[in-house]
């Protein structure tokens, strides 16, 4: 094994696999036994002895199994991060930031320099990735090791080519559970937050994108992983469009500094949510019909050729909803798609290519998919499957184009659920900040030009 494969890592190896390791490799026990308590040294979980037991008084961690089993039969191996990079990559991005983006980018960069903990609250479609470039360019030029992690594989897959295009001479390691590529030691890493469990004090700069996406928000091990993977004196940046209460609490306690970007890249506000109470929408669909208000809207779409996404709570409802649409408005041409659909990527591509006018889908398209100029309708928006964050994200699919910066976000629901109220409140709050910024804009830009 190459020495560099252990730089800033904590690899779980059996004694047999660890035989030929370089001499510098530090060995740590995999499971810490402390009297009655057992703790996994990779993911930090406290383990219940009866669940963790193997024969012959051995124990294993059942919490981080899918990264390879940590047990009393294995050890963790580590070499402290030496920042051994030969050529520091430079930023080749030619684009231009708006004045608000530039201001946020500057905050991000300062945070990296000061090794702070920062939250960047930017609305969906604000151009978050581009705002990272100045800070990353600085960090890479200083020889710092940087990582961008997201709870979602598709976000990682989308980010990798954009970062590669912006830093053309950078070697980027892309790590996620579905990849077969061997690990490479690179100055810049893009990975899922799960993969951070394999790092220890590795990164001078660690960025967590979409911090409020499942499974990160609900998984304490991933929070532990973030704190393990960043160097003790490293910089941490959280980015989100829908901060959780926990993050905002940390802001109030001044454990996190915060900056806002309440306007989208085209300087417009987030579209507001229209809500219609339709207690029997599902029963109507099961009879093969559409609620009258929905039928009217879709008939209008058939004439105007306006494209739209229609969200439903469950995969099992997709076919019936599509059938009811086809029956009511036969000239509309659309597809159904869900997260485990084997043709998912092809279908989304057909929507992108304007080959179909609509998609009926479950939550999977909520993040990271940009379809300019669309409208969004959510059936059963009060279903518990849609969290507040998911609803804000769904609303954020609308108005992603300079040519059509607004659009319809329409929730049909049986009740006015707390999640819907909170989503509307979040959008209202961001738009208040946005409006203030719009009013102040001439001043902001003159400050920047001076």
Partner 1 sequence: MHNYFQQYKFRGDYRVRAVFSTLMQTTVNQLAGDVVLTIPVTASTMVTRGFNQVTGWLTDGLNQVDGLATLVQEKGVAQSQKARQDRMATPQPFKLVMGTERLRQQRVILVDDIYTTGRTMRHAADLIIENGAKSVTGLTLAR
Query: Under DSSP, is residue 152 helix (H, G, I), strand (E, B) or coil?
Result: coil
CB count within 10 Å of CB 170 equals 21
The CA radius of gyration of the chain, in Å to the nearest whole number, is 24
The residue (of 50 and 233) whose beta carbon lies closer to partner 1 is 50
Distance of CA 81 to the CA centre of its chain: 26
Total residues belonging to the chain:
450
Distance CA 35, CA 19 (A): 30
Distance CA 161, CA 380 (A): 36
The residue (of 40 and 325) whose beta carbon lies closer to Zn ion is 40
DSSP 24: T
| Residue 55 contacts which entry, partner 1, Zn ion, none (Cβ below 5-8 A, type-dependent) | partner 1
Instruction: Select from 61, 222, 241, 409 the one that contacts Zn ion (CB under 5 A).
Output: 61
Measuring CA to CA, how many Å separate 119 from each of 116, 125, 257? 10, 17, 6
* Candidate segments 36-44, 64-72, 362-370, 432-440, binder of partner 1 by CB under 8 A: 64-72
Instruction: Select from 40, 163, 318, 391 the one that contacts Zn ion (CB under 5 A).
Output: 40
The residue (of 71 and 363) whose beta carbon lies closer to Zn ion is 71
Report in angstroms how near the CB of residue 53 gets to partner 1 at its nearest.
7
* Candidate segments 66-74, 83-91, 173-181, 217-225, binder of partner 1 by CB under 8 A: 66-74
Report in angstroms how near the CB of residue 77 gets to partner 1 at its nearest.
16
The residue (of 56 and 233) whose beta carbon lies closer to partner 1 is 56
| Closest by Cα among 51, 52, 58, 53 to 72 | 58
The residue (of 66 and 450) whose beta carbon lies closer to partner 1 is 66
Q: Does 393 bind Zn ion (CB under 5 A)?
A: no
The CA-based dihedral angle spanning residues 288, 292, 296, 302, taken in that order and rounded to the nearest 10 degrees:
-10
Residues 43-62 that bind partner 1 (CB under 8 A): 51, 53-56, 58, 60, 62
The residue (of 40 and 156) whose beta carbon lies closer to Zn ion is 40
For residue 58, give the H/E element and its range: strand 58-59
List residues binding partner 1 (CB under 8 A).
Answer: 14-16, 51, 53-56, 58, 60, 62, 65-66, 69, 71, 73
């Amino acid at each position: 094994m190459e020495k560099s494969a252990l730089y800033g890592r904590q690899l779980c190896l059996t004694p047999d696999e660890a035989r030929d390791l370089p001499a510098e490799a530090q060995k740590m026990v995999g499971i810490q036994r402390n009297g009655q308590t057992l703790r996994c040294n990779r993911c930090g979980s406290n383990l219940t002895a009866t669940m963790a037991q193997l024969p012959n008084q051995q124990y294993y961690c059942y919490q981080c199994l899918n990264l390879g089993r940590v047990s009393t039969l294995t050890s963790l191996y580590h070499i402290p991060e030496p920042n051994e990079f030969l050529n520091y990559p430079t930023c080749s991005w030619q684009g231009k930031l708006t004045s608000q983006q530039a201001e946020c980018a500057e905050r991000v960069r300062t945070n990296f320099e000061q090794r702070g903990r920062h939250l960047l609250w930017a609305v969906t479609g604000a151009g978050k990735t581009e705002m990272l470039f100045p800070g990353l360019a600085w960090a890479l030029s200083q020889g710092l090791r940087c990582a961008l992690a997201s709870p979602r594989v598709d976000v990682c897959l989308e980010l990798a080519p954009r970062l590669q295009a912006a830093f053309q001479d950078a070697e980027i390691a892309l790590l996620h559970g579905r990849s077969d590529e061997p690990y490479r030691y690179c100055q810049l890493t893009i990975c899922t937050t799960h993969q951070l469990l394999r790092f220890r004090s590795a990164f001078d700069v660690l960025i967590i994108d979409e911090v409020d996406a499942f499974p990160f928000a609900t998984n304490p091990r991933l929070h532990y992983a973030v704190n393990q993977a960043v160097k003790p004196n490293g910089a941490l940046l959280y980015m989100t469009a829908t901060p959780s209460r926990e993050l905002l609490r940390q802001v109030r306690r001044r454990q996190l500094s915060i900056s806002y970007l309440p306007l989208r890249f085209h300087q417009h506000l987030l579209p507001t949510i229209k809500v219609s109470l339709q207690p029997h929408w599902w029963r109507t669909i099961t009879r093969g019909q559409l609620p009258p208000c929905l039928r009217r809207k879709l008939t209008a779409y058939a004439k105007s050729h306006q494209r739209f996404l229609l969200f439903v709570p469950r995969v099992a409802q997709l076919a019936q909803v599509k059938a009811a649409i086809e029956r009511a408005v036969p000239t509309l041409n659309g597809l159904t798609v869900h997260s485990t659909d084997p043709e998912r990527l092809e279908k989304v591509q057909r929507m992108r290519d304007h080959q179909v006018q609509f998609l009926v889908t479950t939550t999977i398209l909520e993040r990271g998919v940009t379809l300019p100029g669309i409208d969004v309708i959510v059936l059963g928006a009060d279903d518990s499957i849609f969290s507040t964050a998911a609803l804000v994200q769904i609303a954020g699919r609308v108005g992603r184009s300079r040519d059509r910066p607004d659009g319809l976000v329409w929730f049909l629901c049986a009740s006015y659920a707390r999640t819907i109220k909170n989503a509307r409140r979040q959008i209202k709050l961001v738009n208040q900040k946005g409006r203030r910024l719009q009013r102040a804009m001439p001043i902001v830009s003159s400050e920047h030009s001076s």
